[in-house]
Amino acid sequence: MSDRKPASPAAQGSADKAANDKPRISPGEFFRQVRVEANKVAWPSRQETVQTAIFVGILMTILALFFLGVDSLFGFVVRSLLSLA
């Protein structure tokens, strides 16, 4: 069992106050800051997006076929073992 005591209400209150020390901003200012930060993002070009989507589709197909093969192999092994019993 732990020997730790729960934090006192005064300690919890100071932690809550520290979290609320940030200045509050208006919704308009918040969305202006969001727009400024979004403009800093290096967005991929349409060609990069299409190439990446095609790559993901091909890789997904390859992995699906691989796991189908592994699952079929395990299924065959289990059926073979169960037929021995």
pTM of the model: 0.54
Does residue 15 sit within a domain? no
3-state secondary structure of 58: helix
Domain containing 84 equals 44-85
Q: Is residue 22 part of a domain?
A: no
For the chain, what is the domain count? Answer: 1
In order along its 85 residues, the chain shows pLDDT tens digits of 556 665 665 556 665 665 567 788 899 999 999 999 999 999 999 999 999 999 999 999 999 999 999 999 999 999 999 998 7
Query: How far apart, in whole angstroms, are the C-alpha atoms of residue 21 and residue 18?
Result: 5
61 assigned to some structural domain: yes
